[in-house]
Amino acid sequence: MNLRESFDVPAPAIVLAEGEFGKTGGKTSNGVVMHSEVFDTRAVVDSTTAGESSADVLRRPDAPEIPIVESVTDALETAPEAEVLVIGVAPAGGELPEAWISGIEDAVRAGCDVVSGLHTFLGDEEHWTELAADHDARLFDVRKPPEGDALRVGDGSVDEVEADVVLTLGTDCAVGKRTTTFELYKAAREARLNAGWVATGQTGLMVGAHDGVVIDRVPADFTAGVVEDLVKSVAEDHDFVFVEGQASLTHRAYSGVTLSILHGAWPDAVVLADEPERTQRTHFKQFLVEGVESEADLIEELSEAEVAAISTWGDPEVERERHGLPAVNVYEAGGPADLLSAVRETLEAAAPSSTTGGSQ
């Protein structure tokens, strides 16, 4: 899915982040507000933070100043020019909360398209499809997986890609893989490199990846093949392809999808995202985080890629000394450019004759 193709970007949008704006559960809303190249957020709906500063809620001084309001009705009054309602929270259980229904209906009646990250697909329900048709609105269910001929097992055809492929993996979930991928892509564009990126989660699709799919909805046997096709698609028009990873190879709950992404992307270099102070896995306190060395060893054992650098939440100098790898905090000024430099050094060392792409 490439949402860029469906909108006159950046499309003015309302982001529904009820109860979760600025929190981990609102990471899709947070990412859309901070980074989206598809949607220009004009109002955020979250009754728990209404009236506060978006920079304060996101704890990011560089966050855009966007009104936070109580309801979708208030958002439509604040931003009557909005063309899209982005549902940026996936509630526990994945169902559409009853309290949200009337607000989403109001947005559709106002002619807004709806981009949904819910596990429930609005486009499969007659109520929503009829309402959208009556008001010339469109429904986008970004979690909906590819079907039929779009599903295949991996066959190694990604080996023929001429672009340099860089994959971001991590030592755990929620360590900044999507943010790191986007910041690398943005730094490459600022350096006038012909770069594109692949999303494997809903936030990346809404931020504006050049292609992607919510990979945890793809049947296991076909995950590597789907990732291969995404990388090949983006590589057709770009010299560098940055790929968002998921989870970690040492995570007992989610390692299967991580390995499928690694094998499907078959990268030339890997950036490893890490939160150095984390010892227990997010949502799985019974599992310990194995750490950078274990993760890097597995990546290099299970692929032909080299771990080029660490994207850390900690002190880069401390992490460089601890692990013997370039370490960068992408939230610091100049961090993304420094991380890109480390990646390019690894790529150039692997293929000295190539400086713009084509190391495979």
Out of 107, 141, 175, a domain closes at: 141
Q: Residue 268: helix, strand or coil by DSSP?
A: coil
**What CATH number has the domain bearing residue 337?**
3.40.50.300
| Cα-based distances in Å from 345 to 194, 339, 341 | 17, 10, 6
Task: Tell me if 64 is assigned to some domain.
Answer: yes
User: What would the pLDDT profile of 4-63 be if each residue is shown by its tens digit?
Assistant: 999 999 999 999 999 999 988 888 999 999 999 999 999 999 999 999 999 999 998 889
Q: Quick one: 163 and 304 in the same domain?
A: yes
Distance CA 109, CA 38 (A): 22
Out of 97, 119, 141, a domain closes at: 141
Out of 116, 141, 166, a domain closes at: 141
Task: Tell me if 25 is assigned to some domain.
Answer: yes
User: What would the pLDDT profile of 155-188 be if each residue is shown by its tens digit?
Assistant: 999 999 999 999 999 999 989 999 999 999 999 9
Distance CA 305, CA 128 (A): 45
Least Cα distance to 13 among 94, 82, 96 occurs for 82
Q: Quick one: 128 and 155 in the same domain?
A: no
Token pair listed for 274: 């890490």
Task: Tell me if 357 is assigned to some domain.
Answer: no
Please give the pLDDT value at position 8: 93
Q: Quick one: 127 and 165 in the same domain?
A: no
CB 177 within 8 A of CB 168: yes
Q: What is the pTM of this model?
A: 0.89
Mean pLDDT over all residues of the chain?
93
Q: Quick one: 165 and 290 in the same domain?
A: yes
Q: Quick one: 346 and 270 in the same domain?
A: yes
Q: Quick one: 159 and 176 in the same domain?
A: yes
Strand ranges (E), the chain: 11-16, 39-45, 68-69, 84-87, 113-116, 139-141, 164-170, 195-199, 211-212, 240-244, 269-274, 280-281, 284-288, 306-312, 327-328
Task: Tell me if 51 is assigned to some domain.
Answer: yes
Q: Quick one: 179 and 303 in the same domain?
A: yes
Q: Quick one: 218 and 69 in the same domain?
A: no
Query: Residue 66 sits in which domain range?
Result: 3-141
Task: Tell me if 356 is assigned to some domain.
Answer: no
- The count of domains in the chain is 2
Q: Residue 307: helix, strand or coil by DSSP?
A: strand
Q: Quick one: 118 and 175 in the same domain?
A: no
The vertex-151 CA angle with 238 and 201, nearest 5°, equals 60
Residue 39, C-beta contacts closer than 8 angstroms, at least 6 positions apart:
7, 9, 10, 11, 12, 13, 15, 32, 84, 86, 115, 206
% of the chain beyond a pLDDT of 90: 86
Q: Quick one: 207 and 72 in the same domain?
A: no
